[in-house]
């Protein structure tokens, strides 16, 4: 998660404090949906920020760790696993009855520095990491983003450290190892721009369908849904999600936020911009609700408030810098 400067944070808080929104009822967002509604969480914020923690507890019934389960954090040294934050999230999810989605086992980013000089057996490295992580939580975590962002925009495989050392087989191996470590878990592929790029979507679906036909368990596809107030069209979102469902996969809107195209340095949205953002959230939630229920895994919002978003300049989330609900929050509770 990207952090903004202290000055910008304080200025934003002061600016947003001048805004007043018409509040809707305080019932949870998920209670208005027939599918899980989740949020990406940061462990340090959960531990230290009471407003943040309260929103997570009261508004969502599913959580995804922004960073805690990624390779860099789980295996910072070649012979050492660090389970402090992941254990905390498992305990938190149990305490508050939240579904915990594991994100992510294999990615080309956020890797520890030691891996770039690794000269051992890469297949065994991958097997051990996935087996340790998925196996440790096999009683607690029943869904994982196994592979993240493995495709280019033209639908070909991205050049990554995993592709370099294991070839195309690394994706198959990752899903095999995850399935072996937890036979009950739902296993996902996760990527961005699938809702707006037919070539990339086709490349992903063709590749995963081929793996499934060869006996590899792949249950779903995460559409990250980092969208703006104007792009892609809601028809594109609907068509892409239906294409995934028709191919036999669960559909997860896995990292949703709505970036507002505002002037540089702007720290709050106008009334009309707030309504545009609310309409956008409402249309996405409604579109998702129209999928066949058997293909619905849920929607996950990528962050709690604009203050802790990975793209704070876009003011993309349901709560403002003061953790006050925005019109978009209410819009997610008005499915049609």
Backbone angles phi, psi at 250, to 5 degrees: -65, 150
Checking DSSP bridges between strand 186-191 and strand 226-228, what pairing results, if any? unpaired
Radius of gyration over alpha carbons of the chain, in Å? 20
* 62 vs 265: CA distance, rounded Å: 32
Helix or strand or coil: residue 244? Answer: helix
What is the token pair recorded at 99? 């579904």
Is position 255 annotated as part of the catalytic site?
Answer: yes
With tokens 């969480």, the residue in question is 41
SS (H, E, C) 148-211: ECCECCCCCECCCHHHHHHCCHHHHHHHHHHHHHCCCCEEEEEECCCCCCHHHHHHHHHHHHHH
* 35 vs 16: CA distance, rounded Å: 31
With tokens 């002037």, the residue in question is 263
Is position 195 annotated as part of the catalytic site?
Answer: no
Contact 293, 34 (CB under 8 A): yes
With tokens 């280019």, the residue in question is 152
Catalytic residue among 45, 133, 255, 276: 255
Q: Which contiguous run of DSSP H or E holds residue 14? A: helix 6-16
Instruction: Work out whether the CA dihedral 283, 234, 190, 215 comes out positive or negative.
Output: positive
Catalytic residue among 149, 176, 195, 276: 149
Contact 215, 184 (CB under 8 A): no
Q: Which of 218, 212, 126 minimizes the C-alpha distance to 173?
A: 126
Backbone angles phi, psi at 255, to 5 degrees: -145, 50
Percent helix, strand, coil in the chain, to 5, is 45, 20, 40
Residues acting as catalytic residues: 149, 255
């Amino acid at each position: 998660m990207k952090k903004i400067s202290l000055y910008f944070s304080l200025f934003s808080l002061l600016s947003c404090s001048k805004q007043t929104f018409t509040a809707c009822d305080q019932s949870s967002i998920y209670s208005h949906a027939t599918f899980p509604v989740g949020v990406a969480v940061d462990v340090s914020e959960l531990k230290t920020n009471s407003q943040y923690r309260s929103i997570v507890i009261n508004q969502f019934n599913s959580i995804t760790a922004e960073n805690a389960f990624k390779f860099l954090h789980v295996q910072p040294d070649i012979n050492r696993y660090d389970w402090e934050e992941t254990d905390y999230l498992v305990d938190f999810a149990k305490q508050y009855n939240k579904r915990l989605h594991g994100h992510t086992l294999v990615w080309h980013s956020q890797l520890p520095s030691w891996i770039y000089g690794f000269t051992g057996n890469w297949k065994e490295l991958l097997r051990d990491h996935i087996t340790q992580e998925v196996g440790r939580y096999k009683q607690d975590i029943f869904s994982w983003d196994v592979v993240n962002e493995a495709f280019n925009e033209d639908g070909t495989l991205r050049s990554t450290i995993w592709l370099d050392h294991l070839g195309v087989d690394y994706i198959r191996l990752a899903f095999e190892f995850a399935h072996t470590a937890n036979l009950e878990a739902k296993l996902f592929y996760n990527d961005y721009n699938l809702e707006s790029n037919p070539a990339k979507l086709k490349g992903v679906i063709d590749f995963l369908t081929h793996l499934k036909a060869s006996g590899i368990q792949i249950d779903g596809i995460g559409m990250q849904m980092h969208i703006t107030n104007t792009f892609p069209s809601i028809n594109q979102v609907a068509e892409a999600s239906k294409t995934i469902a028709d191919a036999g996969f669960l559909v997860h809107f896995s990292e949703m936020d709505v970036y507002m195209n505002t002037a540089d340095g702007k720290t709050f949205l106008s009334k009309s911009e707030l309504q545009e953002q609310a309409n956008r959230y409402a249309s996405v939630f409604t579109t998702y609700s129209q999928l066949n229920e058997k293909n619905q895994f849920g929607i996950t919002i990528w962050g709690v408030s604009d203050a802790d978003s990975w793209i704070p300049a876009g003011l993309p989330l349901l709560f403002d810098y003061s953790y006050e609900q925005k019109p978009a929050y209410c819009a997610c509770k008005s499915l049609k």
